[in-house]
A and B are shown apart, each in its own frame.
Chain A
Amino acid sequence: MTNHWVDIRNANLIIVMGGNAAEAHPVGFRWVTEAIEHNNAELITIDPRFTRTSAVAQDRAFIRTGTDIAFLGGLISYLIETDQIQREYVLHYTDAALIVRDGYGFEDGLFSGYDEATRSYDKQSWMYEMGDDGFVRRDESLEDPRCVYQLLRAHYARYTPETVSSITGIPVETIQRIWRKIAATAVPDRTMTFCYALGWTQHSIGSQIVRVAAMVQLLLGNMGMPGGGVNALRGHSNIQGLTDLGLLSQLLPGYLTLANAKEQDYAAYIDKRTKQPTVEGQVSYWKNYEKFHVSLMKSWFGSAATERNQWCFDWLPKLERPLYDVLDTFERMSKGELNGYFCQGFNPLASFPDRAKITRALSSLKYLVVMDPLNTETSEFWKHYGEYNDVDSSAIDTEVFRLPTCCFAEDEGSIVNSARWLQWHWAAAPPPGDARPDIRIMAELFLRLKRLYQEEGGVFPEPILNLTWDYDIADEPRPSELAREYNGRALEDLVDDEGNITRRAGEQLSGFGELTADGRTAAGCWIFTGCWTEDGNQMARRDNSDPYGTGNTLGWAWAWPANRRILYNRASADVQGRPWGANKAFIWWDSEQGQWTGADVPDFPTTSPPSQGQMPFIMQPEGVGHLFAGQSMVDGPFPEHYEPFESPVPQNLLHPGNSRARANPAARIFDDDREALGKPEDFPHAATTYRLTEHFHFWTKHARLNAVVQPEQFVEIGEALAEEIGVAAGDWVKVSSNRGFIRAVAVVTKRLRPMQIGDRQVHHVGIPLHWGFTGVAKKGYLVNALTPFVGDANTQTPEYKSFTVRVEKA
């Protein structure tokens, strides 16, 4: 979330799209109802289904799954053509005025630089044009045809209400009504917030859906504002924390990135990531990259990391593939290229697409290690459970180890909620039997490996033998020790320009501003620096006071970065540093004190006066929000609508003649998985998977209360489809894709309605995913038997929300 849960109450308009907060995040959703009741706010839902969120909304639209960019791209065109943008904000706080190089273009669904053989773009032409002074050229009038604003305008001119309607299935009048309501938040004293979840991310165009929403918010001046922002309502209790800590194939902690194999030179690696300002005088905070990187290396390798060995740069693994994401890994595994795999609190047999392929892949492993509090399906993938898991155990040679772990109730530490709050928790009881904390298991495994390398030698033992491990009890580090380590400390005395000591060696650091690139500081995750200072554990703070009445409780727990609760909050004030509207006052320039002040920790250099001209988006080299994503996206600088890889619609209505532009042309798909895609004539129904309010993923089928209230697997189909295939409520249906099938009870409902898309009627099928073959609920089928093995072009998040099936009476 750019903002936070309680801040939703400050919104005037709330768009829930690509999510269903009332059911998936019920307690967080109370702040939506609070805004409706006490801030006179309106809630609008845009979803393929009539959800419980829709049920309390004042307005709603039903959209064909996977067509959100069409709706929001059309909105951009509407905002521009009707001049309903926050013009001062757009001019100063976005890249609208910046000029783009001549070579950039977009034709028939493809951006300039496309290479069909590699399904990728050369992004050289997607760049701003640099002037003779070394900074980006700009046109304050916004009239230059090569400025971002005019390119944006031209790009979305195709997205007329009629075109958007024909793609999304939403009637033109509904589209225009909702666009009008959204446009009304372009004024300084009204804000709109977007709340989304997996309904936006789990598409082959998922990242671009999120991006188009951010662009809308920039045009409306809603970023950095109380009651504004783009808010990812994340799914797992610490999914934000594990993302922040970089447990992803290409990352290091704090959004630092691993080098690829071509980056052999340390200086070049650092230089590429050290973003210097491209507009004169801007902050460009990533210019400090090396301080964060060296502090991490000192944290991991201590005195072994020196300037002479380039802080152990060679010890870090280098990437030879663009991403070693889970789809890539299971593709390689299915071809026998992996020998071992660990699943720590993760159930891939249930969670990954094309379950048959996942079973094949796991069966090819030599060893599988499952660390979990529960008996997951993955840990028993080799065991026969009738039609629910139809395997022959004797034909599977994988050795499977199952290690019991603690659950939250038996565990101490911090987790990061969707609003970036690090909240500390304490253990209430010991775990059952011999279960152990994950920390201890990882420590014991590591120490055993280290001993083996000490005793036997082996390949490249240096990073193992030199990894810092100065915990009081080596095989059971305390959470407090690890938290202090990722916060960071001074390794030598730190001094200011005049030679005064600002931090003694050994002391905890109070913020990432103290980090140095010369090895005098260590910090395992720079964005968390400040969470455990010399004043103690900031994550355990429990002061819920709200002195400004904005819902900002700075004394409750600790939020990264720097305990800031709303990102980009400098943008809540105008260029002169005054709040845009009195009712939206949040951060402002106090000229008497000579500093920024207000209800939050300013997301800005505290004493940089407005007259200095530094702009609010301090992580960007230009200081402004990007309407044009020059280098950050692999599939285009502007979001473009492409069909899901499996779609009931045979062509992309924006590019009907170009089959290369039907689905995302830059999304990766492996050959076998392309062959396994279904055709609309065989699988005519648009399917989407989702979650219910009574259950949490595949966990709560193990909890009796949840299993009692929602015991049995079902699928939702509309009345028209039920009639067409001769199914009554309560009948069993078989749902098939080109990859597998499930059987479930049919819930026939008015919540799903047929949509007119071009010349055809499209029916949606809703598939809740909570059942499996372990647990105390009734046994059911893993729904990922159905889903396609293809992901978002940028993140490789699988396309679980849009694929095709055939429903028939079982």
Chain B
Amino acid sequence: MAINVTRRQFFKLGGAGLASSSLAMMGFAPEPAEASIRQFKLAHAKETRNTCTYCSVGCGILMYSKGDGSKNVEQDVFHIEGDPDHPVSRGSLCPKGAGLLDFVHSDGRLAYPQVREAGASEWTRISWDEALERIARHMKDDRDANFVRRNAQGQTVNHWTTTGFLAASGSSNEAGYITHKVVRNLGMVAFDNQARV
């Protein structure tokens, strides 16, 4: 049952959104009808290019967020799909990547700095200032107490082995670079990322 309807006629015919979508379901639709509905939904969204955060294929993704970039409008990602221009993925996403939106909005996302004090059984919310100041104090105290300038053989080693650091292979090159720059020049050697395992 092929009925040829132009896109303009289709919207007239459909009237309300719900009716038009059920019409489309029934087959009373111009060929690109479903795509039109999708465009309608995405028309006022902001499109941002990114790369899937999971495996190392590096599939291109397009993220759609609410708002047109006006002042005081917080962007909120509501749709993610594959980037059709990407030479490897050509618009595809796998079962992992198809769930990216739920990762962004996961209940497990952390929103505030917290501390678990020694022996405690719960978290306490703290400010960034307090968290960073306490961490910096721990680091300096440990570094000053345990930094080794020369080893038992009298060799200059200038290293700090009593604090270690695991870096993130899900983070960007720029985060990785600055992390390396800071960590290594504090003298740390117990320093690895997921590539070790």
Q: How far is the CA of A544 from the CA of B88 in the complex (A)?
A: 10
- B-contact bits for A605-639, CB 8 A (1 contact / 0 none): 00000000000000000000000000000000000
Q: Contact at B187–A239, with CB atoms within 8 Å? A: no
Q: Are A300 and B106 in contact (CB under 8 A)?
A: no
**Cβ contacts B126-147/A at 8 Å (1 or 0 each):** 0010011111111110111011
Within the assembled complex, what's the spacing in Å between the Cα atoms of A28 and B60? 12
Q: Is the CB of B115 within 8 A of A262?
A: no
Q: Does B6 contact A (CB under 8 A)?
A: no
Complexed CA–CA distance, A396 and B127 (Å): 24
Asked if B169 CB lies within 8 Å of chain A CBs, one says yes
Known contacts A27-B97, A428-B75, A429-B77; is-contact A367 B135 (Cβ 8 Å) = yes
Contact at A373–B109, with CB atoms within 8 Å?
yes
A253 near B135: Cβ-Cβ < 8 Å? no
Within A298-335, which residues are at the interface with B (CB < 8 Å)?
A: 300, 314-320, 324-326, 328-329, 332-333
If A242-B167, A438-B168, A709-B95 touch, does A237 touch B114 (CB 8 Å cutoff)?
no
A373 near B157 (CB under 8 angstroms)? no
Specify which of A28, A249, A485 is in contact with B190 (CB 8 Å cutoff).
Answer: A249
Is A774 part of the contact surface with B, judged by Cβ < 8 Å? yes
Q: Is the CB of A249 within 8 A of B192?
A: yes
Residue A99 is within 8 A (CB to CB) of chain B in the complex = no
Within 8 Å by CB of B108, from A253, A458, A702, lies A702
Query: Contact at A248–B196, with CB atoms within 8 Å?
Result: yes
Instruction: Provide a sorted-by-A list of 18 A–B residue pairs whose CB atoms are within 8 angstroms.
Output: A25-B57, A235-B55, A237-B52, A237-B170, A242-B193, A245-B176, A248-B195, A249-B191, A317-B188, A318-B155, A318-B158, A332-B190, A402-B110, A404-B109, A409-B63, A429-B74, A442-B175, A696-B96
A678-716 Cβ-contact flags toward B at 8 Å (1 or 0) = 000000000000000111100110111110010000000
- Is the pair B176, A241 in contact by a Cβ cutoff of 8 Å? yes
**B189 interface contact, C-beta 8 A:** yes
Q: A242-B167, A338-B164, A345-B167 are in contact. List 16 more A-B contacts (CB 8 A).
A: A27-B93, A261-B151, A320-B151, A346-B194, A374-B108, A382-B116, A384-B121, A416-B173, A418-B56, A422-B173, A432-B110, A443-B182, A459-B143, A702-B109, A705-B99, A798-B197
Contact of A329 among B51, B94, B147, B190 (CB under 8 A): B190
B21 interface residue per 8 A CB criterion? no
Partner among A236, A400, A542, A798 whose Cβ is within 8 Å of the Cβ of B169: A236
User: Complex Cα distance A429/B113, Å?
Assistant: 20
Q: Is A213 an interface residue (CB 8 A)?
A: no
**How many chain A residues touch the partner (CB < 8 A)?**
167
A318-B175 contact in complex given A404-B110, A428-B48, C-beta closer than 8 Å: no
User: A329 touching B58 by the CB < 8 A rule?
Assistant: no
Which one of B89, B114, B174, B191 contacts A439 once the chains associate, using CB atoms below 8 Å?
B174
- Chain B residues whose C-beta falls within 8 Å of the C-beta of A348 in the assembled complex: 166
**Interchain nearest-CB distance for A784 vs B (Å):** 10
> Which of A447-455, A583-591, A720-728 makes up part of the contact surface?
A447-455
CA distance A433 to B110 in the complex (A): 8
B65 within 8 A of A: yes
- A553 beta carbon closer than 8 Å to chain B: yes
Contact A238 B185 (CB under 8 A): no
Most buried by A among B46, B59, B111, B195: B195
Asked if B50 CB lies within 8 Å of chain A CBs, one says yes
- Interface size for B (C-beta < 8 A) is 118
Pick the 6 closest A-B CB pairs, nearest first.
Answer: A433-B111, A345-B168, A417-B58, A413-B172, A404-B110, A26-B94
Chain B residue numbers with a CB within 8 Å of A398 are 116, 118
Q: Which listed segment binds B: A460-468, A492-500, A756-764, A802-810?
A: A460-468
Query: How long is the Cα–Cα vector from A262 to B75 in the complex, in angstroms?
Result: 55
On whether the beta carbons of A444 and B132 are closer than 8 Å, the reply is: yes
Give complex CA distance A384, B137 in Å. Answer: 29
Could you give, for residues 400-434 of chain A, a 1 whenever the CB lies within 8 Å of some chain B CB and a 0 otherwise? 11111101110111111111011101111110111
When C-beta atoms are compared, the residue in chain A nearest to B107 turns out to be A776
**Cβ contact within 8 Å between A546 and B92:** no
Contact A445 B195 (CB under 8 A): no
Give Cα A593–Cα B8 distance, bound, in whole angstroms. Answer: 58
Say whether A77 faces chain B, with CB atoms less than 8 Å apart: no
Q: Which residues of the other chain, A, contact B85 by a CB distance below 8 angstroms?
A: 542, 544
* CB of B160 within 8 Å of the partner chain: yes
* Chain A contacts for B169, CB-based, 8 A: 235-239, 241-242, 345
Let me know if B187 and A463 touch, CB within 8 A. Answer: yes
List B contacts of A351 (CB < 8 A): 194, 197
Say if the beta carbon of A734 comes within 8 Å of chain B.
no
CB contacts (< 8 Å) of B15 on chain A: these are none
B residues within 8 A CB of A315?
A: 158, 185
The complex places the Cα of A407 from the Cα of B77 at a distance, in Å, of: 12
Min C-beta distance of A695 to chain B, whole Å: 7
- Tell whether, in the assembled complex, residue B136 and residue A413 are in contact, meaning their CB atoms are under 8 Å apart: no
- Identify the closest chain A residue to B116 (Cβ): A400
Contact of B102 with A238 in the complex, beta carbons under 8 Å: no
List chain B residues, Cβ under 8 A from A655. none
Please indicate the chain B residues that have their CB under 8 angstroms from the CB of A544 in the complex.
85-87
Of the candidates B49, B89, B182, the one having the most CB atoms from chain A within 10 angstroms of its own CB is B182
A337-362 residues with Cβ-Cβ distance < 8 A to B are 337-346, 348, 351-352
Do the beta carbons of B108 and A236 come within 8 Å of each other?
Answer: no
The contact string, 1 if C-beta is below 8 Å from chain A, for chain B 152-163, is: 010111111111
The docked-state distance in angstroms from the alpha carbon of A246 to that of B192 is 9
Asked if A429 and B76 make an inter-chain contact with CB atoms under 8 angstroms apart, the answer reads yes
* Interface flag for A74 (CB, 8 Å): no
For residue B40, CB closer than 8 A to chain A, the reply is: no
Q: Which residues of A contact B181 (CB under 8 A)?
A: 300, 467, 524
- The answer for the CA separation of A433 and B138 in the assembled complex, in Å, is 26
**In the assembly, what is the distance between CA of A505 and CA of B98, in Å?**
47
Chain B residue nearest to A253 in the complex (CB): B180
Determine the chain B residues whose CB is within 8 A of the CB of A415 once the complex forms: 51, 58, 172-173
Q: B58 — which chain A residues lie within 8 A by C-beta?
A: 237, 415, 417-419, 421, 423
Specify which chain B residues have a CB less than 8 angstroms from the CB of A31 in the assembled complex.
Answer: 88
Interface contact B175-A438, CB-CB below 8 Å: yes
- Residue of A366, A367, A405 with highest tally of chain B CB at under 10 A: A367
Interface segment out of the listed A145-153, A476-484, A573-581, A739-747 = A476-484
The reply to whether the CB of B17 lies closer than 8 angstroms to some CB of chain A is: no
B60 to chain A minimum Cβ distance, whole angstroms, is 8
Q: How far is the CA of A251 from the CA of B92 in the complex (A)?
A: 36
How distant is the Cα of A237 from the Cα of B158 in the complex, in angstroms?
Answer: 33
List of A residues within 8 angstroms of B166 by Cβ = 326, 341-344, 346, 348
| Contact, CB under 8 Å: B185 / A467 | yes
- State in angstroms the CA–CA spacing of A797 and B110 once bound together: 30
Is A53 positioned at the interface, with any CB of B under 8 Å from its CB? no
Q: Is the CB of B119 within 8 A of A393?
A: yes
Q: How far is the CB of B184 from chain A (nearest CB, A)?
A: 7
Query: What does the 1/0 interface line of A219-248 toward B look like (CB < 8 Å)?
Result: 000000000000001111111111111111
Contact A383 B121 (CB under 8 A): yes
Given the known inter-chain contacts A261-B155, A459-B149, please indicate yes or no for A482 contacting B50, CB distance below 8 A.
Answer: no
Chain B residues, Cβ within 8 Å of A459:
143-144, 147, 149
Q: Are A316 and B170 in contact (CB under 8 A)?
A: no
Given the complex, which residues of A lie within 8 Å of B168, measured CB to CB?
242, 344-346, 371, 438
The answer, yes or no, to whether B104 is at the interface (CB within 8 Å) is yes
Complex: A582 Cα to B128 Cα, angstroms: 62
Contact B135 A445 (CB under 8 A): yes
B165–A430 touching, CB < 8 Å: no
Does any Cβ of B come within 8 Å of A603's Cβ? no
Q: Which residues of B contact A28 (CB under 8 A)?
A: 55, 57, 88
In the complex, what distance in Å separates the CA atom of A759 from the CA atom of B57? 42
Q: Which residues of B contact A790 (CB under 8 A)?
A: none
Residue of B nearest to A417 (CB): B58
Q: Is A515 in the interface zone, CB < 8 Å from B?
A: no
In whole angstroms, what is the CA distance A742 to B128 when docked? 38
What is the CA–CA distance of A355 and B156 in the complex, to the nearest angstrom? 36
Q: Which one of A27, A242, A477 lies within 8 Å of B57 (CB-CB)?
A: A27
- Asked if B171 is an interface residue, CB under 8 A from chain A, the answer is yes
- Which listed residue, A395, A445, A699, touches B182 by the CB 8 Å rule? A445
